[in-house]
Chain A
Amino acid sequence: MSEARATCWSCGAARAPADALCSSCGKVQPPAAGGGKDKFAVLGLPRSFELDAGELDERFRTLSRKLHPDRFARASAKERRFSLEQTTLLNESYRTLQDPARRAEHLLELRGIRPVSDTAMPEEFLEEAMADREKLLEAKMDGGKDGVEDLAAGIRKKRDAAMAEIGRVLREPEPHPADLSRVSELLARLRYYARYLDEAMGRGPEL
């Protein structure tokens, strides 16, 4: 990782670009150009799929306490703007890291691998997906709640298996590029499973 240096706008001290607060004078800093590209860095965590949820929460809370716009309600317009930008970045990063699928996606992104678009999936998967959906529609038409529930359970199993495989690859210290493309495809599958389950469980504005 290249460690470009930056200086504090207020006291001029040198600081790491990822630091939200100046270590010398404590003033809030603007996010670095292209800042937040590494959402792990925003929370001061190493890039890793393995993550202690408790530690993530704790870091989020600690940083929120320091950066939130309410803390700068009486500060200058400049500091208020930086605080808004930093908090926006913090919230976004926390949201991404909290969810294992999004976290995995972000790890790929950091390695320069673009997500597979849903339409670029292998033929056999698309056919399987079509068949799954037809079965779901039929089960819904029959009105049998058990039928839908059984189908959903099947999809959940597939989802968990995909997640487990993603985890296995990403825990490797230096994953093989072919394995990483496989993860990218698995993530597309996860998106599909999520939509399927939403539909099966009747997601709507109200329960």
Chain B
Amino acid sequence: MAALLEIAEPGQSQVKEACVAAAVGIDLGTTNSLVAVVRPDPATGSGKPRALEVDEGSTLLPSVVSYREGGAAIVGREARRRAADAPSDTIASVKRFMGRSSADPETKRLSPYRFAEGESGTVRFEVAGRTVTPVEVSAEILRTLKARAEERLEMPVRQAVVTVPAYFDDAQRQATKEAGRLAGLEVLRLLNEPTAAALAYGLDKRSEGTFAVYDLGGGTFDISILKLVEGLFEVKAVGGDSALGGDDFDRAIAQLLLDEMGATPSGPRLVRQAIDAARAAKEALTTRDAVELELTGFRRTLTRAQLEEAIRPLVERTGPPSRRALKDAGAEGKLDGVILVGGSTRVPAVRAYVRELFGLPPLADIDPDEVVALGAAVQADLLTAEKPQHDVLLLDVAPLSLGLETMGGLVEKLILRNTTIPTSATQEFTTFADGQNGMDIHVVQGERELVSDSRSLARFRLSGIPPLPAGLARVAVTFQVDADGILSVTAREQLTGISQSITVKPSHGLTDEEIERMLLASLEHAEDDMAKRLLIDARIEAQRILRAAEHQLESNGDLLSAEERAPIEQAMRDVRATMEAADHRRIKDAIERLDHDSAEFAKRVMDRGIERALKGHAAAEFESGEMSEHAKKAYRALTEERAPRATGGGRRPQHTDDD
């Protein structure tokens, strides 16, 4: 790191810290994805989250990825424009396939894609001469968001809170985390979307009470019941359907069109066009009563009444999970409000249904597209900032029950759905055969009684049980769910103390080898992507060091003679000149020269800072920790050296334990 960037001025530490890297909130949506960030307002010091413009001036990046033969993937509006011409190479709504197996009904629905068989039964798309997994496609979206956020913020983005539907199961959560890793992001937390929305909403409106968040997006439906008390957001119950959303509305209308046209079998291009026409009609019918549809010469008028009839069965599917969540939360008749989230809640028929369902007029005064990302940004700030902008805390729940397979293919539930996390539970099992020396542990997720109806999460075997008559050996199985909602399981034989434990990886997920291979592949394919990334990084770095240099020359220029100043200014001009070039190495070289030429200057500035600190100007900042680590060390060295312990000992730094 350049020495000039290490200098912290008293009182400016926050700005300096903020310059190092940003932690963002990402809403990885079915239809659109967004990135938001909490930045303290320099004037007021308060930090409101805001969504960043990431695609052609919009905060919405369409979650569409288009692959080209031999080239880097295209993401966003440009990809969406390509969809009609390259329907099978352009993947939209990839979220619907996250963590699903190739046998999942989702792959059988109306779609223009070509599917390939995967090694571990994972969904794979055939695109532009290769196969990609949903995780890789999602990683492309995340990579784009990361890069564009870095451009807007002019600083690297390394950490993110990524939102997932509350009703996502373990496999879908793990897949989302893997996508983040593949995109070069440290995923600080997977945050449930309705919780994120409530966070943004509650902070903005300063409301208290019990709220339902009705979140109908492009591909998922979530319902959450939360209680808000003095900055504490307590999730009481969640529910939903991870395969229900606006996409299904589009497909229902598209199917109607294709049936009327008698177009069977319909090729991928026609299917894509029908779905696009359906979506446009649906959106237009939000404000109009009838709309004219055209599909390869076939014309038809679609009225709002017809649309509502076509989607009614789908909208009504949100009823049972909503009622169940209300009952689980004990909130029937006690709601203070219903918050609408997700683009599909713009459909008038959906709003009418929500009003009927809850007996309350729904609230939608924060943009339902942005609200989730804004909440995620607040949580990212909470988890990374030394002094978070908002004093809030989220208490979330396990969305689905977790259990074990027992005799006869039955599920023994250890942790019930809607249990506040982190949590743990232990259950004892005995052997059923004489001399049995091992026990198979099969971990399942879901509400059903039979293993065959549940989601299989993991299997492992505890071996080395001492040979005893049936029923005498006792195995204690412990489930621990952490604040991320990630489950780990430990099995321990009580007599011998033999134990086995695992962190659950989904049975339908990707193997570690597959992930490695994908990481490598993404590097190969993204050769030009990589160059672009390096270039952006280098430009950001250059801007930062130039700004630092300008600032220091302005405030501490008197430390330099004219002869000393000239080479620094020359080096700065060089950096500026190379920034226009498309070669990151040249920029890096220029930065290094500037760093070298300004090293002596940086040292003098630092010394002056310390001198001032010793005079007491900065003592307060030191005490309150508002000084860079570098400056602190120097300060400490000087105070310890110059001030005899007997008199100056009161100001010894406290070390924090970091094991």
Which residues of chain A have a CB within 8 Å of any CB of chain B? 10, 61, 64-65, 68-71, 73-74, 76-79, 84, 87-88, 91-92, 94-95, 204-207
Contacts and interface: CB of A to CB of B under 8 A. Distances in A.
A77 B659 CA distance: 6
A64 B448 CA distance: 31
Interface string B152-167: 0000000000000000
A206 B223 CA distance: 13
Contact of A206 (B321, B421, B659): B321
Interface string B423-448: 11000000000000000000000111
A71 B393 contact: yes
Closest 4 CB pairs of A and B: A205-B447, A73-B383, A69-B483, A206-B320
A69 B657 CA distance: 17
A207 B327 contact: yes
Contacts of A94: 420
Contacts, number: 68
Contacts of A78: 657, 659
B321 A65 contact: no
Given A70-B382, A76-B656, A76-B658, A65 B422 contact: no
Contacts of A68: 393, 395, 483
Interface in B320-347: 320-321, 323-324, 327
Given A61-B232, A70-B483, A206-B320, A84 B659 contact: no
B117 interface: no
Contacts of A73: 188, 382-384
A65 B382 CA distance: 13
A84 B420 contact: no
Contact of A76 (B327, B393, B447, B659): B659
Contact of A70 (B321, B327, B383): B383
Contacts of A64: 232, 393, 395
Given A69-B422, A91-B423, A74 B324 contact: no
B479 to A, nearest CB: 11
Nearest to B423: A91
A79 B658 CA distance: 9
A207 B657 contact: no
Interface in B289-341: 320-321, 323-324, 327
Contacts of B395: 64, 68
B480 interface: yes
Contacts of A95: 419-420
A116 to B, nearest CB: 18
A74 B424 CA distance: 23
A177 B625 CA distance: 60
Given A88-B424, A88-B480, A207 B419 contact: no
Contact of B421 (A10, A91, A204): A91
Nearest to A75: B656
Interface in B230-276: 230, 232, 234
Nearest to B447: A205
Given A64-B232, A69-B483, A73-B384, 14 more contacts: A61-B232, A64-B393, A69-B482, A76-B659, A87-B422, A87-B483, A88-B424, A91-B419, A92-B424, A94-B420, A204-B447, A205-B447, A206-B321, A207-B323
Nearest to B401: A205
B3 interface: no
A205 B448 contact: yes
A207 B383 contact: no
13 contacts: A64-B232, A69-B422, A73-B188, A73-B382, A74-B383, A76-B657, A78-B657, A87-B483, A88-B422, A88-B480, A206-B321, A207-B320, A207-B324
A74 B384 contact: yes
Given A76-B656, A206-B324, A207-B320, A70 B423 contact: no
A88 B394 contact: no
Nearest to B319: A207
B324 to A, nearest CB: 5
With a 10 A CB-CB cut-off, give which of A64, A73, A205 has the most chain B CB atoms.
A205
B229 interface: yes
A70 B383 CA distance: 6
A66 to B, nearest CB: 10
Contacts of A87: 422, 483
Nearest to A66: B393
Interface string B168-193: 00000000000000000000100000
Contacts of B383: 70, 73-74
A4 B128 CA distance: 70
A207 B446 CA distance: 15
Nearest to A206: B320
Contact of A65 (B188, B393, B657): B393
B386 interface: yes
A76 B234 CA distance: 26
B659 A61 contact: no
A105 B567 CA distance: 80
B386 A91 contact: no
A62 to B, nearest CB: 9
A84 B232 CA distance: 18
Interface string B396-432: 0000000000000000000000011111100000000
A65 B233 CA distance: 11
A88 B383 CA distance: 19
Contacts of B447: 204-205
Nearest to A25: B654
Interface in B360-416: 382-384, 386, 393-395
A91 B657 contact: no
A64 B658 CA distance: 23
Nearest to A204: B447
A161 to B, nearest CB: 22
A87 B394 CA distance: 13
